[in-house]
Amino acid sequence: MLLVLEDEHKKHLSFLPSVDIAVVKEFCRISMEFIRKGTNPKVYTSAAQKLGVEADQVQNGVEGLMYLLTESSKLMLNQVDYQDSIIVLGFSEDLREMLLQLYKENRKEVRTILSEISMDLPHYRNLEWRFDVQLASRSLRRQTTPLILFKLHTESYGEQESHILQTDPVNLVHLTKVLDEALQEMKSPYCRRIVRNIK
């Protein structure tokens, strides 16, 4: 699988071949620091003054490298796919080698950081259910009111919660139909592609 870079990202990274390889190494170091701790606009300004260029240009270069690292790490690109992905940028052999080394050294750490900052949505743990039928009441001697009670157990950030839900059979059939349609939609090639890119 290849990482497809948009024209905007290619434009941001096009600044790198025009500077010395030592400067690119510094950009790589700054990119990794920003991935670990977040961005710091003062760094852009001081680096721009040293290079004699606009701060926006430095920011675009660093953020382009951050994007390249995070997206490649998300997709777990192997060495060949990574090189094929950046070859379209027109970098020199030395620059490509250096970026590959940066990726190989930091891939696991970037994936760990990305997993830590991702949202942990409540997820299913267990479901208990009971079917209740009311056959009569004082006012209505002959009635049948079926109800289904659920106790849904979920977990979020290591904490477990229980939710009591109640529905009738008609709504339950409708709910299962909608969920089944959603599951069928998830099997479509379009949804698979989206899910693969999210991971």
Decide: pTM greater than 0.85.
no
pLDDT of residue 167: 92
pLDDT of residue 177: 95
The sheet with strand 145-156 has its strands ordered as: 123-134, 145-156, 159-167
Rounded Cα–Cα distance for residues 98 and 30 (Å)? 15
Residue 154 has pLDDT above 90, yes or no: yes
pLDDT in tens, 31-43: 888 888 877 778 7
Residue 199 has pLDDT above 60, yes or no: no
Angle at 126 between CA 123 and CA 128, to 5 degrees: 135
pLDDT of residue 163: 93
pLDDT in tens, 90-122: 788 888 888 888 888 888 888 888 877 766 678
pLDDT of residue 194: 76
